[in-house]
Structure 1
Amino acid sequence: MQEVSQVIREDLGKEIHDLFVSFDDTPMGAASLAQVHKAVLHDGRTVAVKVQHPKVQVQSSKDILLMEVLVLAVKQLFPEFEFMWLVDEAKKNLPLELDFLNEGRNAEKVAQMLKHFDFLKVPQIYWELSTKRVLLMEFLDGGQVNDRDYMERNKIDVNEISRHLGKIYSEMIFVNGFVHCDPHPGNVLVRKGPDTGKVEIVLLDHGLYQVLTEEFRLDYCHLWQSLIWTDMEKVKKYCLRLGAGDFYPLLACMLTARSWNSVNRGISQAPITASENTEIRNNAATYLPQISQLLNRVPRQMLLIFKTNDLLRGIEATLGTRASASSFLNMSRCCVRALAMHNKKNTCSFFRRSQISFSETISLWQISLHELILRVKGLRLASWVLALLCWLLPAPY
């Protein structure tokens, strides 16, 4: 608390008791860069106060230097492992994470960007009491997204939570190209809305975002469409465009966390099994040198996408909703919309834009019909009807 008081005094120019009616000494959460305390302002607003540890700014440059030395040492001992990209990413991202004003701007940007999702809550930022080391936010409570007991007590449907998360991140990645890259369970809360009683997701900690270039975003859209609809020629094409080279099967497996056999059969056709999980774990150890080379080849934007995908998969595994057909179909919708938006933006022809809009509508209708059949009739009939639709209608990309 002495250090917390010191940072608040230095950055806001006042003592804690001058700024707040009450301030909880015990942090609600603590991490390597900062900790968060619950407090009440004099006007009655309950807030969350994020305070950076005072020595982090000075220590961070030493940490990066030490990381660089260790990575170079590993390269000397094991030439096949190339991890200098890790140092480059740390140099780029750590200063951004240490600037809480940047975090506040990210929070406001994503709240505006996804305002059409009424189930998503992003804390409001109180700028008048925020600095680079202190961030004052609206206090939003809830249970962690991996706390199944909390969800059972509050009658929250885990499948609904999984669907909402899929929609949020598909929209970020495929449509907007602005991606929250730290969705670990401490940063994703779930709750019943106090006013509506509807299920809500609270997204916290907006310090680490990845901004995707349009070229990368569109190639990534095409790749996921190809993976979902099992078009292996296009899977190879877009893996190559993303720098995978001969490692394109490995890139497909890493993105989907499925075996190459499952990728070839269709990742949306069958859920992952325990034996496949074991196979993936064993192969991860076997192919570690190739994974290292692949990570050094792909665009730097891909690295935080890998991290985001893995954290989301961890949440899905805990909820027992991993690799559901619904999540793949939500991704496919976003890919269709993103590619249609791009194509319409790059044509001046009214007829061509109308044609693109019509194709987009048909593709989205095709996905919705497939989802309906999955819910009502089961997977076997759905696969049969999907095959018929694919024969009758144009592919959704």
Structure 2
Amino acid sequence: MKVKTTIYLITASAITYQAANNLIPADSSSVHSKIIVGYDAVVRSSRAFCTIAVTAADYKYSLYGLSAGSDDYRKKLSEVHLRSAERVRKLCETNKGFYVKAGQFVAAMRQIPKEYSSTLSSLHDQATPCDFKAIKEVLVSNLGHDLSQVFLSLDEHPIAAASIAQVYRAVLKNNQEVAVKVRYPGLEHKMRVDTAVMSFLSNSISWFFPEYRFQWLVSEFSAAISLELDFIQEAKNAERTSESFKTNNFLKVPRIYWDLTTSQVLTMEFCRGHKINDVEYMKEMKINPTKVAKALVEVFAEMIFVHGFLHGDPHPGNILISPEGQNGFTLVLLDHGIYRQLDERFRLDYCQLWKALIFKDSDEIQKIGERFGAGKYARYFPIIFTGRTIDSKSALGKDMSIEERTKLRGEMRSLKLEEISSFMESLPPDFLSILRTDGLLRSLTMTLGASQRVRLLAYAKYALNGISSKRNPSSDFGSEVTLSRFQTDLSYLRLRLVLEVLELLPWMAKFNQFLQSVYETIGNAFMGLATISFK
């Protein structure tokens, strides 16, 4: 262990030194600026190394000698999770930038312990605004030296400050109100060093503790954050989504001003609204939160199952609720930096998976799981997506019975950490992206007070739409198109009937119990009257 630690420290120093060199811009000629940039890189990286080293030691020695699966082990493990999550949160807040983004990314993953997700979720919307002087330099270098020729007015105080950019309200010369998103200077270099350090740390953890493997998570984050830095790509994503949902009256995507958009500056239509988790605001405006949840889930279900082009970061700050629109409200979708283009074969398989989940077709679930590379772990797909076991008898969307919970708890205890790591590593990247998005959507629908049935119905509907082939009405025979739509509608009605019946069964059981209690009450009353009359 000592030899490993020594090698680790030497390697960590080398990685930090190399990362510091990568951080310095090639055209940087100032020795003073090089020293400052290099020092910052070393400090941030060293802070991360120390945090992870202390956390790894905490897990190793706090759980030493405890029997895995025992009550003492689970209690101690939860305590270590909580301490470690707090350390990681402090690291993210101190290092800022991509560390905050990484913390947000991890918090949205439903596969991590709840102690981490609850602790790291506080990182949302926490970012220290950058000085406008530095922001102005970015604006001038991208839009021209005289900003007064571009904007009628530009508020120097940001209306939003995130981990990679700030947003400002401005008015163009034609009196059009716009939102200007400006990327912080020097982010590409910081991204290289931060992701390199994160990758090294994840590999180091798996070296010391083979049962803990997180490289899949770092890879997913690195790929996502690289896309988010390019505002040209973000603008293209926004326009593509706008085109896909042009007939949807519930969704609005801000218009892009291409003549004022570069890889570092994104200028778009200014849209007013409140965060989608502001339930009190909805009540004030007489907007039904359940209807909002339904509209939201249907938008993302269509993204996943039909278009195969998925917004990857639907947290409350990126979705606004506006009281405008013919339906009484409109969803305003922001921040189109992180998207996932789903593989077509995967999209179709995922549609089939949801059809099998609704109909409780365990054989089909297992077959699709094999295609996803999940193997024997496919039996846990129903738990991940519908909250029940693969052989559950409970109604879809309802809680598991006590017996089912007990059985599941036993299965979970028998799973080793390295098995869970193997499961996560085996899943396609598309699957991991959907898991993260689905976790964020579940959290939002719960906040809005909607039942899981709203989500299940939406997923069922759009899974069937996604299975039916996309025909071109102008080239295909009209009768074939009509027949395809009819078959899809018929299948959806069948699915809906299944859900309605499953929902009805528990209610019928409760109603039957109610009738029995009424009969008993009436019977007892008659018996009482008969006794009195005989007296």
**TM-score normalised by the shorter chain: which range applies?**
0.7 to 0.9
1:224 paired residue number: 354
* Aligned match of 2:139: 8
- Aligned residue number for residue 380 of structure 1: 505
Once the two structures are superposed, residues 119-159 of structure 1 have per-residue CA deviations (whole angstroms, 9 ceiling, x without a partner) of 10000000000000000000011111111111111111111
Q: Which residue of 2 aligns with 1:138?
A: 269
Structure 2 counterpart SS, 1:235: helix
* Closer/same/farther in 2, CA of residues 319 and 287 from structure 1, 3 Å limit: farther
Aligned to 1:185: 316
Deviations 1:192-221 (A, max 9, x none): 11x647211010000000111111001111
Please tell me the residue identity of whatever aligns with 1:265: K
Equivalence for 2:335: 205
Unaligned residue ranges in structure 2 (runs of 5+): 1-131, 510-535
Shift of 1:272: 7.7
For residue 179 of structure 1, report the CA deviation from its aligned partner: 0.4
The answer to whether the 8 Å contact 1:8/1:15 transfers is no
Are residues 1:338 and 2:466 paired? yes
Q: Are the aligned partners of 1:226 and 1:234 in contact in 2 as well (CA < 8 Å)?
A: yes
Q: Cα offset for 1:352?
A: 7.7
Could you tell me how far apart the structure 2 residues matched to 1:381 and 1:344 are?
A: 44
C-alpha contact 1:12 1:129 (8 A) present in aligned 2: yes
Relative distance call for 1:370 and 1:16 in structure 2 (3 A) is farther
Is 1:291 paired with 2:420?
yes
Counterpart AA for 1:47:
V
Alpha-carbon separation, structure 2, partners of 1:339 and 1:322: 25
SS at match of 2:166: strand
Q: Structure 1 counterpart of 2:289, which letter?
A: V
1:3-42 → structure 2 map (5 Å cutoff): 3-42=134-173
- Partner of 1:21, secondary structure, is strand
Match among 260, 272, 293 for residue 389 of structure 2: 260
Question: Which deviates more from structure 2 when the two are superposed, residues 87-96 or residues 99-108?
Answer: 87-96
1:359 alignment counterpart = 487
Instruction: Give the secondary-structure state (helix, strand or coil) at the position aligned to 1:264.
Output: coil
Letter in 2 for 1:191: S
Query: Counterparts of 2:265 and 2:258 in 1: how far apart (Å)?
Result: 10
Aligned amino acid, residue 313 of structure 1: R
Q: CA offset at residue 14 of structure 1?
A: 2.9
2:305 corresponds to which letter in structure 1?
Answer: F
Question: For residues 337 and 289 of structure 1, do their structure 2 counterparts lie closer, same or farther at Cα, with a shift above 3 Å needed?
Answer: same
How many pairs align? 374
Rounded Cα–Cα distance in structure 1 between residues aligned with 2:228 and 2:419: 30
- Is residue 99–residue 133 contact of structure 1 (8 Å, CA) maintained in 2? yes
Q: Which runs of 5+ in 1 are unaligned?
A: 385-397
**Residue matched to 1:388:** none
Conserved 8 A contact 1:81-1:293: no
- 2 CA distance for matches of 1:284 and 1:40? 59
The separation in 2 between residues aligned to 1:238 and 1:344, in whole angstroms, is 28
The answer to whether the Cα contact below 8 Å between 1:143 and 1:190 also exists between their aligned partners in 2 is yes
**In the aligned structure 2, how far is the partner of 1:274 from the partner of 1:104?**
49
After TM superposition, the structure 1 = structure 2 runs for residues 1-397 of structure 1, keeping only pairs within 5 Å, are: 1-193=132-324, 196=326, 198-256=328-386, 258-260=387-389, 264-265=392-393, 268-270=396-398, 288-323=417-452, 325-341=453-469, 356-367=484-495, 379-380=504-505
Q: How far off its partner does 1:102 sit?
A: 0.2
Give the fraction of aligned pairs with identical amino acids, expressed as a percent.
34
1:357–1:144 distance in 2 versus 1, CA, 3 Å = closer
Q: Select between 356-365 and 92-101 the one with higher mean Cα deviation.
A: 356-365
The answer (yes or no) to whether the contact 1:232–1:264 under 8 Å persists in 2 is: no
- What is the distance in 2 between the residues matched to 1:277 and 1:312? 24
Distance 1:259 1:336, change over 3 A: closer
Distance in structure 2 (CA, Å) of the matches to 1:15 and 1:285: 66
Matching residue's letter, 1:198: G
Give distance in 2, aligned partners of 1:9 and 1:284. Answer: 58
Structure label with greater radius of gyration: 2
Contact residue 177 and residue 214 of structure 1 kept, 8 A: yes
RMSD: 3.3
